[in-house]
Structure 1
Amino acid sequence: MALVAPQMNSVNAVILDRMQSQIPLIPTLAGHLISGGGKRMRPMLTLASAALLDYAGTRHHKLAAAVEFIHTATLLHDDVVDGSGLRRGKQAANIVFGNAATVLVGDFLFSRSFELMVEDGSLKVLKILSGASAVIAEGEVDQLTAQRQIETSEERYLDIINAKTAALFAAACRISAVVAESGEAHERALDDYGRNLGIAFQLVDDAIDYDSDEGTMGKGRGDDFREGKMTLPVILAYARGNDEERAFWRDAIAGHRVSDSDLSHATDLIRRHQALDTTRERARHFAARAIDAVAGFPASQARAAMIEAAEFAVARTY
């Protein structure tokens, strides 16, 4: 955050400017989420990747804003799909403004992101970010079809989070190598960094859903459980459980066991079988791969910050 703070001010100025509209509900609803205290991890990665390459221009400011708009749009749509009650510690936009308005403002932000990409003028950047947007949507649909499917495998789960989360992390990093014109090898290295960081980030998110409280997480505790999402802690606990425990998981993921006491029992089973420890261990593996991906770059403040970001992603509790 300290490394990119001055440039982040420029990015935030673009975000604030481009979320405006003559329709007052649009900036009001968008601002409800955008000003809600998110980590801004993805646009910060765009800025840090540019710093890693000693890029001295400003093209990446608008592109970092485009990345954040893509992310924000997906969050708005996700909250409608999931029926979420909390986002970033306050009522989700769909609860405050309704589902229809939330979906439409998400569409508006997607459109704004593509305007920013087109203004940049690089077909390669446009291809990377538009491709990532399509992959994110595919990942969300894949997650929806896996919902309440108790036999979902760890391999499919990783495919889902690679698409719905890691694709945008990868694109956010890669586009800086494009604007810096630093070559295909650097593009691939930054793509690898972002992708592995994104997977690690999502693994920890899924562990936190069973290992924290609403105040710390900024969203409803046990949301994944009640929505029947097959995340890695559940997949592992189910695989390691006895017949009685598996029967509970089948009922719970099917939507028949969703009370607070059921959530407590689910959390107990997950802890009993060390599923959270294993999930975080997997996250550390992907974080290490992210760190390896930038190891070939010269030592710099930017490289140190990106390594620290990977370490933070797996150590955090929120």
Structure 2
Amino acid sequence: MGVVIPLEDNKNKQASVKPLVDLTLSDMERVNQLILSKAGSDVQMIPEVANHLISSGGKRLRPMLTLAAASMFGYEGDGHIKLATSVEFMHTATLLHDDVVDESDLRRGKSTARTIWGNQASVLVGDFLLGQAFRMMVDVGSIDALDVLSTAASVIAEGEVLQLSVAKNMETTEDDYLQVIRAKTAALFAAASEVGPIVAGGSKADRNALKSYGTNLGLAFQLVDDVLDYGGTSSDLGKNVGDDFREGKITLPVILSYRRGTPQDRAFWREAIEGGASDAANLEKALGLIRRYGGLTDTIARAKHYGTIARDALAPLPASPWKSALVEVIDFCIDRVS
């Protein structure tokens, strides 16, 4: 079931990721070549599993952030190519691991690797990609970049464990939820953005600006993803609408609806999420409750709040096509619900 949610400031043309895509096109071609090269192995199953996900049509936003963040500070070497590829491998590894943990059957409209090759292969190939990512980081020779990305890898893993600890727990607070997505999603957006000025020799202020931009963009991105799970389509998500509900994930639309509901409503949520009563009829009821209590519109409002912080983080930086493209990405991420 799809739902159109109007955005107050969406009166002009739809925001697009195209300016960022166009600016990074030649560098992304190099990234894609390096991805294919580094995903190779004499162990046949490794490239099969890796390429299944790598070639499944994602926008590769995170590596584009790295390329843009380096180029906006005048970087002319090739270290940003390796760092961008490392970022994409880290992201791909987390997707492989996520699908195992979540028991997901669909990813970007295709069967997940775990449904084709099994959970063990998915986890191990994810580990292989992480290893390759760290080898490329070392090749770049920047201790600061290695520190930022390796720290992000640890934080992402912590976020996965934290999400497990709050799964199917209706007493999860909004603060708990934000802690999860700050670790699981925003940490990699932040690291992908911060290593750009690092490799380009930017100042501490430059690094902080891009880190703040990436963090808040990542939070906005994930909040919109959580809205789309209840108010989008499978083509928007690349997975089945309602997967979060069926998997018992506690996301902000659910938290808000649970806390604002009647005792009877809260009993329904406990039965559906904690008790696993997540059939189609209960999904429809959940959608109705989320709309009734403003779960979608208020989650979008939160996303727009973080988008504003991301925009303000870039404000002190000199005007450039790179900066304009990064700002438009904020609107693009939020406009996905329009």
TM above 0.5: yes
**What is the CA distance between 1:48 and its match in structure 2?**
1.1
Q: Does 1:288 find its partner at 2:318?
A: no
CA distance in 1, matches of 2:105, 2:287: 21
Quick one: which of 156, 159, 163 aligns to 1:139?
159
Q: Does 1:262 find its partner at 2:262?
A: no
Quick one: which of 105, 110, 121 aligns to 2:125?
105
Which residue of 2 is the match for residue 219 of structure 1?
Answer: 239
Which residue of 1 is the match for residue 76 of structure 2?
Answer: 56
Quick one: which of 35, 39, 49 aligns to 2:55?
35
Q: SS of the counterpart of 1:75?
A: helix
Q: Does 1:236 find its partner at 2:256?
A: yes
Q: SS of the counterpart of 1:182?
A: coil
Quick one: which of 85, 90, 103 aligns to 1:65?
85
CA distance in 2, matches of 1:303, 1:255: 47
What do the CA deviations read for 1:27-49 (whole angstroms, capped 9, x no partner)? 11100000000110100000111
Q: SS of the counterpart of 1:209?
A: helix
**What is the CA distance between 1:256 and its match in structure 2?**
3.2
Structure 1, 12-21 or 216-225: larger mean CA deviation: 216-225
Quick one: which of 99, 121, 124 aligns to 1:79?
99
Which residue of 2 is the match for residue 165 of structure 1?
Answer: 185
What do the CA deviations read for 1:270-318 (whole angstroms, capped 9, x no partner)? 0111110000110000011101111111111101100000110111149
Contact kept, 8 Å, 1:227 with 1:255, in 2: the verdict is: no
Which residue of 2 is the match for residue 314 of structure 1?
Answer: 334
Contact kept, 8 Å, 2:228 with 2:236, in 1: the verdict is: no
Q: Does 1:251 find its partner at 2:271?
A: yes
Which letter maps to 1:167?
A: A
Output the aligned Cα RMSD: 1.0
Which letter maps to 1:288?
A: T
Q: SS of the counterpart of 1:105?
A: helix
**What is the CA distance between 1:117 and its match in structure 2?**
0.6
5+ residue gaps, structure 2: 1-20
Q: Which has the higher contact order (CA 8 A, sep 6+)?
A: 2
Q: Structure 1-normalised TM-score?
A: 0.98
How many percent of aligned residue pairs carry the same amino acid? 52
Q: SS of the counterpart of 2:22?
A: coil
What do the CA deviations read for 1:60-101 (whole angstroms, capped 9, x no partner)? 000000000000000000000000010011111101111111
Quick one: which of 307, 314, 318 aligns to 1:298?
318
What do the CA deviations read for 1:158-217 (whole angstroms, capped 9, x no partner)? 011000000000000111111111111100000000000000000001111001122332
Structure 1, 214-223 or 289-298: larger mean CA deviation: 214-223
**Residue 140 to residue 212, structure 1, CA distance change in 2 (3 Å):** same
Q: SS of the counterpart of 1:210?
A: helix
Contact kept, 8 Å, 1:226 with 1:255, in 2: the verdict is: no
Which letter maps to 2:247?
A: E
